[in-house]
Chains A and B, each alone.
Chain A
Amino acid sequence: MSTVVSDAQERIRATGGRAPNVFRRGEWVPMKQYPENEAVDFVIVGTGCGGSVLAAQLAEAGHSVVAFDAGAFYRPLEDFASDEREQEKLYWLDERISGGDHPIELGSNNSGKAVGGSTVHFQMVALRFRPEWFTSRTSLGYGHDWPVDWREMWSYYAKAEDAMKIAGPIRYPWGPKRGRYPYREHELSASALVLAKGAEAMGVKWCGTPTASLSAPRGEAHPCVYRGFCKIGCATNAKQSMLVTFVSKALKHGAEIRDLAMVGRIEVGPDGRATGVHYHREGEWRFQKARNVVVSGYSIETPRLLLNSACPAHPDGLANSSGLVGKNLMVHVNDAVWGIMEEEIRWYKGPPSLAVCEHWNYEDEGKDFDGGYAFMSQGPLPTDFATSLVSNEGVFGHELRKWMSHYNHMAGLKMVGETMPQETNRVELSDETDALGLPIPKVSFSYCENDRKMAKHAERFQGEMLRAAGAKSLYHTSSTAHLMGGCRMGDDPASSVVDAAGRSFDIDNLFVCDGSLFPTAGGVNPSMTIVANSLRIADRIIAMARRGDLH
Chain B
Amino acid sequence: MAVPRPDQHARASRDIAALHDARPASVAEQPNMRSGTLLAVTGIGLVAASLAGIAVASRGGNRPARAARYAAWGSALLAGSVLADSAMEHYRGNFRRKEMFAAPVVAAGTLATALATAVTSRATSYKAALFGGTIATGLFGLGFHLRNILSRPGGLSWNNLFYRAPFGAPGALALAGLAGVGAVAADRADRRERLGQKGHGRRAGYGLGLFTAAGLFGLTAEVGLLHFRGAFHDKLMYAPILALPFTGAAIMAATADPQPRRRSLARKSLEATAGLGLVGTGLHAYGVSRNMGGFANWTQNLFQGPPIAAPPSLAGLALMGFAALDLLDRHGKDPSHGPR
Q: Residues on A close to B: CB < 8 A?
A: 102-103, 105, 165, 169-171, 182-185, 187-188, 193, 196-197, 199-200, 208, 215-218, 222-223, 225, 236, 238, 340, 342-344, 346, 388, 391-395, 399, 402-403, 405-406, 408-409, 472-479
B38-46, B59-67, B153-161, B328-336 - the one binding chain A:
B153-161
Q: Is B235 an interface residue (CB 8 A)?
A: no
Q: Is B261 an interface residue (CB 8 A)?
A: no
Nearest residue, chain B, Cβ from A171: B158
Q: Is B229 an interface residue (CB 8 A)?
A: yes
Chain A proximity of B284: nearest CB distance (Å) = 12
| Given A343-B27, A393-B9, A402-B20, A169 and B231 contact (CB-CB distance below 8 Å) | no
CB-contact partner of A475 in B12, B228, B292, under 8 A? B12
A223 touches B1 (CB 8 A): no
Within 8 A of A (CB), among B2-52: 2-4, 8-9, 12-13, 15-17, 19-20, 23-24, 26-27, 29
A-B contact list, 16 entries, CB within 8 Å: A103-B1, A165-B231, A184-B228, A187-B159, A216-B230, A217-B233, A222-B291, A222-B292, A340-B16, A342-B24, A343-B24, A393-B4, A472-B19, A473-B15, A473-B16, A479-B1
B20 touches A184 (CB 8 A): no
CB-contact partner of A183 in B16, B19, B231, under 8 A? B231
Q: In the bound complex, how far is the Cα of B319 from the Cα of A402, in angstroms? A: 62
Chain B proximity of A23: nearest CB distance (Å) = 12
B29 touches A215 (CB 8 A): no
Q: Residues on B close to A: CB < 8 A?
A: 1-4, 8-9, 12-13, 15-17, 19-20, 23-24, 26-27, 29, 152-154, 158-159, 162-163, 228-231, 233, 287, 290-292, 300, 304
B153 touches A472 (CB 8 A): no
| Given A193-B152, A405-B20, A473-B19, A222 and B290 contact (CB-CB distance below 8 Å) | yes
Contacts of B233 in A (CB 8 A): 183, 216-218
Chain A proximity of B25: nearest CB distance (Å) = 10
Contacts of A346 in B (CB 8 A): 29
A402 touches B231 (CB 8 A): no
Contacts of A477 in B (CB 8 A): 2
Chain B proximity of A145: nearest CB distance (Å) = 32
CB-contact partner of A225 in B1, B154, B304, under 8 A? B304
B153 touches A197 (CB 8 A): yes
CB-contact partner of B231 in A215, A225, A393, under 8 A? A215
Chain A proximity of B194: nearest CB distance (Å) = 53
Nearest residue, chain A, Cβ from B29: A344
Contacts of B162 in A (CB 8 A): 184-185, 187
Chain B proximity of A81: nearest CB distance (Å) = 15
Q: In the bound complex, how far is the Cα of B152 from the Cα of A526, in angstroms? A: 31
Contacts of B154 in A (CB 8 A): 188, 196
Contacts of A478 in B (CB 8 A): 1-3
Contacts of A102 in B (CB 8 A): 1
Chain B proximity of A159: nearest CB distance (Å) = 17
Q: In the bound complex, how far is the Cα of B3 from the Cα of A105, in angstroms? A: 13
Q: In the bound complex, how far is the Cα of B15 from the Cα of A408, in angstroms? A: 17
A188 touches B4 (CB 8 A): no
Q: In the bound complex, how far is the Cα of B231 from the Cα of A165, in angstroms? A: 10
Chain A proximity of B296: nearest CB distance (Å) = 13
B24 touches A402 (CB 8 A): no
Give 17 new A-B contacts, CB below 8 A, not counting A171-B158, A199-B153.
A170-B158, A184-B228, A185-B158, A187-B159, A193-B153, A216-B231, A222-B290, A225-B292, A225-B304, A238-B292, A342-B24, A391-B2, A473-B15, A475-B9, A478-B1, A478-B3, A479-B1
CB-contact partner of A476 in B8, B153, B300, under 8 A? B8
Chain A proximity of B227: nearest CB distance (Å) = 10
Chain B proximity of A211: nearest CB distance (Å) = 12
Chain B proximity of A366: nearest CB distance (Å) = 24
Q: In the bound complex, how far is the Cα of B1 from the Cα of A217, in angstroms? A: 42
